[in-house]
Amino acid sequence: MNTASRKIVISQPMFFPWVGLFEQIRLSDVYVHYDDVQFPQGRSFMSRVQIKTPAGIQWLTVPVKREEKQSIKDVLIDDCQRWREKHLKTLQFNYAKAPFVDEMLSLVESTYSRDTPLLSELNIVAIEKTVEYFGIKRSFLRSSDYSIQASSSEKLLQLILYLNGTVYITGHGARNYLDHELFERNGIRVEYMDYQRAPYAQLHGDFNPHVSILDLIANVGCAGVEFIRSPTKYWRDFINESKG
């Protein structure tokens, strides 16, 4: 790519997600919280995430009030449950021996102190505070701030064009629905993440790259930014390798 490329990442706001999401953010020039599409039915990473414990994987879940065909930006947190207090106790107990547990807990407490009834707002705050913690400076936008009346690949394309993007960076799930040729016809290069899953020192057994970013913070601290480093791969190469 030439030096004038403008890299756009668009992703639904997930709850303290894994390192891979932050690798996308680090590679981007502009990151868009994709908050005006339908909230997934069933379980999703927008309301839960994995952590490591001595007994194996455990889920941290934010309870939500579900309705049919909700937009992500409209999903309400169910605050009848004392989930914030439960999360903090769970994290404190399972990461008590981690060298940077206090920094991790401070980040979580700061996020949870934001008084919002909306899941998307909580997740956006969590993501942006984490990026700030690692010293990564990026531009953040929300798709709901733009009136793009389209869906699927066309909606993504129109948003990228509006933002003067030239490169769209995405995770692996997009290969199942993205119209790559549409992007190419409109001068947008699609690149997929080439996740390296770089290992770092973890508690509780074998390395697991898919747990919450909170695990990296607790174990490595702000120096963990060095493990947020995966590159990308041109979509044709990615698809061909996937078929092989």
In angstroms, the CA 173 to CA 193 distance is 10
Query: What's the mean pLDDT in 102-111?
Result: 98
pLDDT confidence band for 1 (50 / 70 / 90) = very low
Q: What is the pLDDT of residues 3-32, one digit of tens each?
A: 579 999 999 999 999 999 999 999 999 999
CA angle 6–7–12, rounded 5-degree value? 140
pLDDT confidence band for 41 (50 / 70 / 90) = confident
pLDDT confidence band for 115 (50 / 70 / 90) = confident
Q: What are phi and psi of 102, to 5 degrees?
A: -65, -40
In angstroms, the CA 84 to CA 61 distance is 10
In angstroms, the CA 219 to CA 200 distance is 8
List the domain boundaries for the chain: 7-243
Q: How far is the CA of 232 from the CAs of 111, 171, 182, 235, 242, in angstroms?
A: 30, 10, 20, 9, 14
For 237, the enclosing helix (H) or strand (E) is helix 235-243
pLDDT confidence band for 194 (50 / 70 / 90) = very high
Question: Quick one: tokens of 231?
Answer: 């590159």
Contacting residues for 25 by C-beta, under 8 A, at least 6 apart? 9, 31, 127, 131, 136, 138
End-to-end CA distance of the chain: 26
Q: Which amino acid is at 122?
A: L
